[in-house]
Amino acid sequence: MTTATKTIRLALVAGVALAFGAGAVQAETLRLLTWGGYAPDAVVKMFKAETGIDVEVTKSNNEEMIAKLRATGGGGFDLAQPSQDRVTGAQSEHNIYKPIDLSKIDSAKFITSMLEATKGNTTLDGKVYGVPHIWGTSGLVLDRSKAGSVKDYTDLCGDAVKGKVSYRLKRPTLIGFAFAMGMDPFAAYGDKAKYQEVMNKVEAKLIDCKANVKAYWTGGDALLNLLRSGEVVAAMAWDTGGWKLNKDNANITFVAPKSGALGWIDTFALPRKTKAEDAAYKWINFVMQPKIAAMITASAGNFTASKGADAFAEDALKKRFQDSFPQEAIDNIKWYPPVPAGLEDIEGKVLDRVKAAK
Amino acid sequence: MKKRLGFYLLLAPLLLWLFGLIIVPHIDMFFLSLQEKLGPGDYQTSLANYAAFFNEPLYWNTFARTAIMSILATMITLLIAFPVSYYIAKLAQGRIRAVLFTLCLLPFWVSELVRTFGWMILLRETGVLSHLLQWTGLAGQPVEMLYNDATIMVGLVYTSMLFMVVPLVTTLDSLDNAHVEAGYDLGGNGWSVLREIVIPHAMPGIVSGSIVVFMLCLGNYLTPILLGGKSSLWFTEQIYDQFITRFNWEQGSAFGFLLLILSSAIVWTGLRLTGQNLSSTMGDGGER
């Protein structure tokens, strides 16, 4: 037997052995459940070059992430990125996550205040389930030349923008309108009866407002098209959407509403049946390096919780951020507290009735 | 003995498929639908999820709306598809026939999503049709043709056309031309020949086409959502919402079952009213 054939045979045997000892093979792939733009190809390639680990990216959103992980009891993915307010509720109800081993996280790379706040918000029974990655806000995206009158969510129901308004039929809209109507839905989180009362008022307002709405948007791209074509001049949307449009049309941008933009932080959370825990920690520590974090900011459009990444961020994006957020608007951001289990049922019924109203 | 073994072996993939992918998940879903959620992680067996459907007018109305619009879409599809099929089966000759048939098939070479987006580009306020109307002076300002029930109907009919044309062409093809001639010889006119000879002969095709189209419309998700906009209200959307955005799989399963039961009931009623039965429409068509 020549050495060449011997090597081949050895490799074959090794291959078969590895295939049966599944764990070892799969550890070389990290199955990441995340949002669009959070794992750009360039970063995935750099990670592969440094660690030899392939990253398999699945793009999703908060609801789908929970639904997918619930379907498998926390399997099928090695690392997920739900928003911080949706972690403990889902965990207590469906038990889909695994506590994070904070000793494996390089906490010096995180902005301290954000790390502490996220740890606090994702703690259940004394265990931490999430660390922060990317943060941003939702508020108003306006064509300032045509919708100058819109200062807050409730102004979307004004006659000035009749038929040229779009928002989502999802929970951020309910929360935003509640704030704009002078109520504090977050303060009512702990009291179901009180929350129901708040939501009933929002429901009446939204039904009243329905004639003003062109369409309830469902996908980010569909909304951008509506705004770009001028069919919609005022919308409730994410900050990045506004900034993206601002590149092509200086009139359109993101505006923080008077009652406060709604702030979210997307986290890293470990699915309960993760098969590549080490790779997941490696990925977290890799993407939190300031330079890599800046690359992700460029692709996702939102800033990260990485300490020092601002220095590498694109100037144009920083400028847009400063335009949309004067200091008092930053101080006025309403950060989502964790959603207690059960509130989604109340919101669901409200959204159904708004959708059904004539 | 050997013959039997072969029969069972050939049957095995079908049985596996039916059992593993349809029957087992449905049983699982059925048990899930009987779970009433009392609190986080706390369930009890009851019919509450089914009761919710009948007690909340919203769900009930959404289903009725979906069913009525699907029936309407089926009828419109039949009205448009019948002359087309008759032309392809009886009047067109040779290559024209193949070309016409291919033309019906052509839109189905792209995915449903792309077809629906095509309609959106045509009908939106800044879309092709709106511009055309303004250019010809028929409209003074941009016209919004999306986001209403008529648009949903257009989308549904367009999506299901092929599934009506194919069974109709096959049944009409088997109609002997001599029967039509005999009808005229015996003093019939166009209308009575159509009513007494062509339609009765095509009945199995009409019924099977209608069942397929009705089920497709009822189970359609993309078309009503994308074209219907803010008031689309389709029952499949309710099911999706319950499963994905409300995390209420128990309610979603109950809705899924209700859709199955109620749509079967509607098909059964339809068969009863037209005096047909499943074996004559799906089988070899008896006398042919």
Task: Kindly state whether residues A250 and A197 are assigned to the same domain.
Answer: yes
Nearest to A321, CA basis, from A236, A225, A246, A226: A246
Interatomic CA distance for residues B221 and B112, integer angstroms? 10
CB contact under 8 A, A67 and B243: yes
pTM metric for this prediction: 0.82
Task: Kindly state whether residues A283 and A301 are assigned to the same domain.
Answer: yes
Taking a C-beta distance cutoff of 8 angstroms, is the pair A333, A260 a contact?
A: yes
Query: A9 to chain B nearest CA, in Å?
Result: 36
Task: Kindly state whether residues A117 and A162 are assigned to the same domain.
Answer: no
Residue B147 zone, left/alpha/beta (φ > 0; ψ -120 to 50; rest): left
Indicate the pairing of strand A123-124 with strand A127-128.
Answer: antiparallel
Q: Would the pLDDT of B278 be above 80? A: no
Higher pLDDT among residues B130 and A4, named by residue: B130
3-state helix, strand, coil in chain A (%, to 5): 55, 20, 30
Among the residue ranges A17-21, A215-219, B83-87, B96-100, the one predicted with the least confidence is A17-21
CB contact under 8 A, B230 and A213: yes
Task: Kindly state whether residues A169 and A128 are assigned to the same domain.
Answer: no
3-state secondary structure of B248: coil
Task: Kindly state whether residues A189 and A250 are assigned to the same domain.
Answer: yes
Task: Kindly state whether residues A350 and A308 are assigned to the same domain.
Answer: no
**Beta-carbon contacts of residue A158 (< 8 Å; ≥ 6 apart):** A149, A150, A212
- Cβ-based burial of A10 (10 A; exposed 0-12, middle 13-18, buried ≥19): exposed
A348 touches chain B (CB under 8 A): yes
Query: A21 to chain B nearest CA, in Å?
Result: 27
Task: Kindly state whether residues A277 and A244 are assigned to the same domain.
Answer: no
Q: Report how far Cα A177 is from the mean position of its chain's Cα atoms.
A: 20
Task: Kindly state whether residues A120 and A268 are assigned to the same domain.
Answer: yes
The encoded tokens of residue A225 equal: 């098209």
Residues of A within 8 A of B148 (CB-CB) are none
pLDDT digits (tens, 9 = 90+) for B59-80: 989 999 999 999 999 999 999 9
Amino acid at residue number A187: A
Q: What residues form DSSP beta bridges with A31?
A: A56
Which of A94, A215, A358 shows the shortest C-beta gap to B147? A215
CB contact under 8 A, B230 and A214: yes
Phi, psi of B137 (to 5 degrees): 85, 5
Higher pLDDT among residues B237 and B139, named by residue: B237
Amino acid at residue number A221: D
Which A-chain residues 143-162 have CB contacts (< 8 A) with chain B?
none
DSSP H stretches of helix in B87-105: 94-105
Interatomic CA distance for residues B230 and A207, integer angstroms? 11
| Domain boundaries, given as residue ranges, for chain B | 53-232
Higher pLDDT among residues B184 and A18, named by residue: B184
pLDDT (0 to 100) of residue A19: 47
CA quadruple A144, A146, A151, A153: dihedral sign:
negative
Query: A11 to chain B nearest CA, in Å?
Result: 36
Task: Kindly state whether residues A30 and A114 are assigned to the same domain.
Answer: yes
pLDDT (0 to 100) of residue A5: 53
Q: Would the pLDDT of B115 be above 60? A: yes
Q: What is the CATH number of domain B53-232?
A: 1.10.3720.10
CB contact under 8 A, A348 and B248: yes
Interatomic CA distance for residues B212 and B219, integer angstroms? 11
CB contact under 8 A, A93 and B126: no
- Return the C-alpha torsion angle A19, A21, A25, A26, nearest 10: 110
pLDDT (0 to 100) of residue B125: 85
Q: Which of B148, B149, B246 to mutate to test the interface with A (most CBs of A within 10 A)?
A: B246
CATH number at residue A106: 3.40.190.10
A72 touches chain B (CB under 8 A): no
Which of B230, B245, B249 shows the shortest C-beta gap to A215? B230
pLDDT (0 to 100) of residue A263: 93
CB contact under 8 A, A93 and B40: yes
The B-side interface with A (CB below 8 A) comprises 39-41, 58, 61-62, 124-126, 144, 146-147, 225, 229-231, 233, 238, 241-249
Residue with tokens 């090597």: A7
**Beta-carbon contacts of residue A8 (< 8 Å; ≥ 6 apart):** none
User: Residue A302 gets which letter from DSSP?
Assistant: S
3-state secondary structure of A333: coil
A66 touches chain B (CB under 8 A): yes
Which of A216, A229, A348 shows the shortest C-beta gap to B126? A229
CB contact under 8 A, B125 and A231: yes
Query: B280 to chain A nearest CA, in Å?
Result: 40
Q: What is the ipTM of this complex?
A: 0.77
Task: Kindly state whether residues A126 and A258 are assigned to the same domain.
Answer: no
Taking a C-beta distance cutoff of 8 angstroms, is the pair A30, A280 a contact?
A: yes
Indicate the pairing of strand A97-98 with strand A262-268.
Answer: unpaired
**Beta-carbon contacts of residue A116 (< 8 Å; ≥ 6 apart):** none
Interatomic CA distance for residues B283 and B288, integer angstroms? 11
3-state secondary structure of B249: helix
**Beta-carbon contacts of residue A32 (< 8 Å; ≥ 6 apart):** A39, A55, A56, A57, A58, A77, A78, A79, A80, A81, A283
Interatomic CA distance for residues B251 and B238, integer angstroms? 10
pLDDT digits (tens, 9 = 90+) for A277-319: 999 999 999 999 999 999 999 999 899 999 888 888 888 888 8
Task: Kindly state whether residues A211 and A301 are assigned to the same domain.
Answer: no
Q: Which of B230, B233, B237, B238 to mutate to test the interface with A (most CBs of A within 10 A)?
A: B230
Interatomic CA distance for residues A237 and A301, integer angstroms? 14
CB contact under 8 A, A345 and B61: no
- Cβ-based burial of A163 (10 A; exposed 0-12, middle 13-18, buried ≥19): middle
Domain that holds residue A305: 3-135+264-323
Stretches in chain A below the pLDDT threshold 50: 1-2, 14-27
pLDDT (0 to 100) of residue B1: 57
Query: B241 to chain A nearest CA, in Å?
Result: 9
In the predicted model, what is the mean pLDDT of residues B4-17? Answer: 88
Number of A to B CB contacts under 8 A, please give it.
Answer: 64
- Cβ-based burial of B283 (10 A; exposed 0-12, middle 13-18, buried ≥19): exposed
pLDDT (0 to 100) of residue A258: 93
Query: B126 to chain A nearest CA, in Å?
Result: 7
Taking a C-beta distance cutoff of 8 angstroms, is the pair A324, A255 a contact?
A: yes
pLDDT (0 to 100) of residue B285: 45
pLDDT (0 to 100) of residue A191: 92
CA quadruple A49, A51, A54, A55: dihedral sign:
negative
Which of B147, B229, B244 shows the shortest C-beta gap to A63? B244
**Beta-carbon contacts of residue B38 (< 8 Å; ≥ 6 apart):** B44
Task: Kindly state whether residues A85 and A126 are assigned to the same domain.
Answer: yes
Number of domains in chain A: 2
The pLDDT confidence band at residue B280, using thresholds 50, 70 and 90, is: low
Query: B129 to chain A nearest CA, in Å?
Result: 15
Residue B192: Cβ within 10 Å count:
13
Containing H/E element for A132?
Answer: strand A131-143
Residue B241: closest C-alpha in chain A:
A348
